[in-house]
Structure 1
Amino acid sequence: MVADNNRYMSLINEMIEQRQSEPLEEKIANTRDRNIRVAGIIRDYLAKKYHAEVIVTGGLSVEYYTDGGYTTQDIDMITQSQRELEIILTDLGFMRDGKYWVHDPLEIVIEVVASVPFDGVYKPTLKAATKDGFSVNFVDINDILMDRVRGLAHWQYKDYGEQLLALIDSHLQKLDMEYLKQNLEGKEEYELLLYHIRLLQNDNLPEAQAYRVKRYLEQKGIPYSELREGDESEYLYLAFPLQEDAKTHFGSYFGLLLLPHIDILLYNDDEEEFESKEDADVATTLIKYSARYGEPFSSILEALEKEVVE
């Protein structure tokens, strides 16, 4: 079969026009869909022009397996045909910037991270169809899970812990525990995986409750930003953008501290930072705010009532 460069470019231009017409929230919401579509175009072009393959790993594979539970603008790729892939990327409007390939209008960044997955020890990839009729090869769920375990164990990437929980939560029944035990390096890595599995199975652990609160808010469509602070990133809180009367009363944001304990944070616009609302009963305060202002307070209250075990 012959590569159809005209169709590839038509689809790219369609996505550019769509993105330019979208408000910011829609741009963010549609990032996953566009990334996967672009990955499908690249794979199809490379396969038809050079009879070569490319595998998607990293953040976009986490995003795919968690159904958007994690968002990235980067696409990490694995291929033994890097020179040919670079020609394809150039044809599609990407520009080289050091080790990255950047498509400015789509705000997509691609990096070739390896020539073979995980030093040659990996499960068969998952082929996923795109809305344009192409397909993307994603690394297996077990392999991306091991990648996140290693990143958390050895480089302390804190967001990898959240990604681990999301992957396990979505695919616990698909985990090949014998394969994972055999290929994770040493007791430390395997114990770290078991710890995150136990987190999801124990309702009383604060980390599990924080994860479930965030998932509940995401399912309700409540926008928030997640922030970590402290020497060990031990403080986890969510910042909710406010509108109209709530913004007038509270400032630009409302904060909810999730770790190491639950607390309400008020935003100081002058200092541009959150401050604890001292002596506040969280439930009582949220009931009052919910009755007066509605969202996001109503969903925050629901999330805490539903997901946090006293």
Structure 2
Amino acid sequence: MITIDDLRKELELIKDKPKFQKMLDFASILTSFFEQENIKPIVVGGLSVEIYTRNDYTTHDIDFVSSGWDRFDQVLREIGFTKTEREWYHTEAELAIEVPDNYLDGDYDRVIELHLPNSRKLYVIGIEDIIIHRLEGIFHSNPEDDVDYEWAMRMFLIHKDDNIDLDYLINEAKRTKTYQIIEKWLELG
């Protein structure tokens, strides 16, 4: 069983690690802690992009979609995080955590379970859904000029031959009115 003291100790152990490794390690112990309470945090946002781009993208925080917002607030404050407007921040560990929603805007069946070298795991939004989310955030007359377009395209190109469900991606792109972007990528081969 993982306790509040274990979370504090983990923060101390990881505070000097490289940012990406620190975020993965802390997100995984937090996931293990909350799973004991039947809360399943799912990594979304920038950290999921960083995972899918194999650390090419860099984010400053850990975004989770999860139930139990009040419990997150209680636990994070108890282990030394300070609540700001949108996120909790731990000054010494230089970690920021946000829980922007309790509902995943995507398919729960496509959430991946990522096993880490520290023998823990993370739940991460599916690749198709994070690509669509990035495209939805930039949809305007010149989407290619937006940095989120570039990262969505990179994720697509990195994973198109291994684990993207193209039928699902195309259907979601049509549903969200981002298909003309995906269509261009498909034409590239």
TM-score, length basis structure 2: 0.87
Asked if the contact 2:28–2:120 (Cα under 8 Å) also holds between the matched residues in 1, the reply is: yes
Asked if the contact 2:43–2:122 (Cα under 8 Å) also holds between the matched residues in 1, the reply is: yes
Asked if the contact 2:46–2:63 (Cα under 8 Å) also holds between the matched residues in 1, the reply is: yes
Q: In the alignment, which of 100, 118, 135 is matched to residue 87 of structure 2?
A: 100
Q: Percent identity?
A: 23
SS at match of 1:127: strand
How far the C-alpha of 1:8 sits from its partner, in A, is 2.5
Q: What pairs up with 1:1-310 in 2 under 5 angstroms?
A: 2-16=1-15, 18-19=16-17, 30-48=18-36, 50-118=37-105, 121-154=107-140, 158-173=146-161, 174-185=163-174, 188-198=177-187, 201=189
1:42 and 1:187 map into 2 onto residues whose CA distance is 32
- Unpaired runs of 5+ residues, structure 1, are 20-29, 202-310
User: Which one has more relative contact order, counting CA pairs under 8 Å at least 6 apart?
Assistant: 2
Asked if the contact 1:69–1:166 (Cα under 8 Å) also holds between the matched residues in 2, the reply is: no
- Closer, same or farther: CA 168–124 of 1 in aligned 2, 3 Å: closer
1:198 and 1:103 map into 2 onto residues whose CA distance is 45
Residue type matched to 1:105 in 2? Answer: E
SS at match of 2:110: coil
- Figure out how many residues of one structure are paired with residues of the other and give that number: 186
1:121 and 1:135 map into 2 onto residues whose CA distance is 19
How far the C-alpha of 1:56 sits from its partner, in A, is 0.6
How far the C-alpha of 1:53 sits from its partner, in A, is 1.1
2:40 and 2:170 map into 1 onto residues whose CA distance is 29
- Closer, same or farther: CA 93–79 of 1 in aligned 2, 3 Å: same
Residue type matched to 1:192 in 2? Answer: I
More strand by percentage? 1
Residue type matched to 1:171 in 2? Answer: H
What's the counterpart of residue 279 of structure 1? Answer: none
2:79 and 2:127 map into 1 onto residues whose CA distance is 29
* Rg larger for: 1
Deviates more, 1:61-70 or 1:97-106: 97-106
Asked if the contact 1:125–1:137 (Cα under 8 Å) also holds between the matched residues in 2, the reply is: yes
TM-score, length basis structure 1: 0.55
Residue type matched to 1:94 in 2? Answer: F
1:129 and 1:88 map into 2 onto residues whose CA distance is 24
Residue type matched to 1:45 in 2? Answer: F
Residue type matched to 2:7 in 1? Answer: Y
SS at match of 1:131: coil
Spell out, residue by residue over 1:97-140, the C-alpha distance to the aligned partner (whole angstroms, 9 max, x if none): 0121111122222111111111x645431111233322110001
